[in-house]
Structure 1
Amino acid sequence: MRPQPAIDALRAQIEKIEGHRRRVKSVLPFGLAAVDSRLPGGGLARGALHEIAGGGHGVIDGAAAALFAAGIAARTKGRVLWCITKPDIFAPAVAQAGLEADRVIYIEAGDQNSVLACMEEGLRHGALGAVVGEVAHLSMNASRRLMFAAEGTGTIGLALRRWRRQADSMDFGQPTAAATRWRVSVLPSTPLPVSGVGRPRWLVELIRARAGESADFELEACNAKGFLSLPAGLAHGPAAAHGRRQGAAR
């Protein structure tokens, strides 16, 4: 018979591992059945790294991707660390996506390697709601380090892929350790019954989801609390029943 201290130590190790897995399985729902039903666990995994990029229209889609990330971060609790290489983010727009300025800590790093280092330290800290980092390239090794750091604390990591040159966007197709990969493109805004500009509308593509399938969604942009919504014309139509237009990964 094994000594009791050895059995107790083994149980403690098992409990530690199970507790770690429970943190990883915790999710942050979007609050839209159409989207959450496509994600393992019914939401965006906490304690994990997620990739977000703009579609094919450069700065415009890149800004939409940043607001998509801001909406996710806004729905977490606590401060948000946002790591950048250049101070070109428009804070009022981020606030309109639900992420108030007093919750965000901006760190201007000198280069991409510094951004990745800051992201890793932020994810290891454990007291942040989310960590956002703007990077052009994300290697498998770098993404694994970020994923490991996120898993240890349960913090959501968001790698916001930004490219100064369109040719660099080809890197987005390379494999990484991220749990999900998203692409956001701007669509014509929601029409209003009177003159004016309607709520922005996005094509949000779930290109990759670990243990899930690809899908895409036509959604209205984040509101003042960080939540997306189905356009009124789709909420009661076939799109609501299916929750998506299932698409092949692009």
Structure 2
Amino acid sequence: MPPPRSSDPPAPAKNVLAELRRLTEPALEARTTDSVLPFGAGTLDRALPGGGLALGALHQIHEGGPRGRYAASAVLFAGGILARLDGPVLWCLHSRDLFAPALARVGLHPDRVVYCETWRDTEVLPAMEEGLRHRGLAGVVGELTRMALTPSRRLQLAAEGSGVTALVLHRVCAGESAEPEPSAARTRWRVSPAPSGSGGDRHMGRPRWRLDLQRCRGGAPGSWIVEACDAQGRLAVPTVLADRQAAPERPALRRAGGR
């Protein structure tokens, strides 16, 4: 038996190809024909070219906050985006901590997700690229610790060729690099927990996130306080914050003695 070619997908990716083919054939007819996906939040959509998130493109999402690796805001933000698209989702896992019921609460039912257990970045990237060739997918998600410029260009080209949206998730801890490397992604987002409302509504309603659009090709960066995705995957802007951007973040205070 000849050795596998270097272009062949890794074993975890091969194991899910048959499932992808089975799921994507009927989904091709149900694919949305829109080129963007609006968030339904006025100031946020106005910052994006075309009034929404570009489909058939690569987007980066990374978790903010001091416990970024263990938080789930970025994961739920990605789940809410995919919940509003037609078709199955290929999710390339970097660690076994994805909580399917939480994705279901933002509208992404587990029956729509094909999980590909690819534990290293060197396996996640080719698995994502292989998945992006399946036109019936709603999207391909890859959990990465880092993504260099050349692999990001490959993913962007694959997404453009198939029309399938690619989302790369970065989760980091305090003390690690908080900013991803330069990439070919169309947008780059940071999602962080935000304080809930004051007074009697502090413990009622949906959690709040701070969304930072750090980079947007052809658009304008900005920051917003939003209510987290609901059961249909939709964000909302709190009434008291409508048409207002989030205040700039304060720099971290130094300890006494200048340390």
Shared fold (TM-score, shorter chain, > 0.5): yes
Q: Does 1:145 align with 2:154?
A: yes
Q: Does 1:84 align with 2:84?
A: no
Change (3 A) 1:61 1:101: same
Structural RMSD (CA): 2.5
Change (3 A) 1:196 1:219: closer
The corresponding residue for 1:38 is 47
Q: Match for 2:145: what amino acid? A: A
Contact 2:92-2:141 at 8 Å conserved across structures: yes
The corresponding residue for 1:9 is none
Q: Does 1:209 align with 2:216?
A: yes
The corresponding residue for 2:9 is none
Q: TM-score, normalised by structure 2?
A: 0.77
- Structure 2 distance, partners of 1:224, 1:96, is 5
The corresponding residue for 1:98 is 107
Per-residue Cα deviation, 1:75-131 (whole angstroms, up to 9, x for no partner) = 111001111022111111111111111111111113111111111111111110011
How far apart are residue 25 of structure 1 and its match? 8.4
- Structure 2 distance, partners of 1:169, 1:146, is 22
Change (3 A) 1:149 1:203: same
Q: Which of the numbers 117, 131, 134 marks the counterpart of 1:122?
A: 131
Q: TM-score, normalised by structure 1?
A: 0.80
- Structure 2 distance, partners of 1:55, 1:194, is 24
Change (3 A) 1:227 1:84: same
How far apart are residue 36 of structure 1 and its match? 0.8
How far apart are residue 246 of structure 1 and its match? 8.4
The corresponding residue for 2:169 is 160
The corresponding residue for 2:27 is none
Q: Structure 1 stretch 183-192 or stretch 101-110: which is displaced more? A: 183-192
- Structure 2 distance, partners of 1:135, 1:102, is 24
The corresponding residue for 2:177 is 169
Contact 2:82-2:139 at 8 Å conserved across structures: yes
The corresponding residue for 2:187 is 180
- Structure 2 distance, partners of 1:68, 1:141, is 26
Q: Which of the numbers 218, 225, 244 marks the counterpart of 1:218?
A: 225
**Which stretches in structure 1 are left out of the alignment for 5+ residues?**
1-22
Change (3 A) 1:52 1:246: same
Contact 1:192-1:198 at 8 Å conserved across structures: no
Contact 1:98-1:226 at 8 Å conserved across structures: yes
Per-residue Cα deviation, 1:198-231 (whole angstroms, up to 9, x for no partner) = 3100000000000112100000000000000011
The corresponding residue for 1:134 is 143
- Structure 2 distance, partners of 1:123, 1:64, is 24
Task: Give the aligned length.
Answer: 219
The corresponding residue for 2:245 is 244
Report the structure, 1 or 2, having the larger helix content: 1
Contact 2:68-2:174 at 8 Å conserved across structures: no
Q: Structure 1 stretch 220-229 or stretch 98-107: which is displaced more? A: 98-107
Contact 1:25-1:41 at 8 Å conserved across structures: no
Contact 1:55-1:61 at 8 Å conserved across structures: no
- Structure 2 distance, partners of 1:27, 1:192, is 37
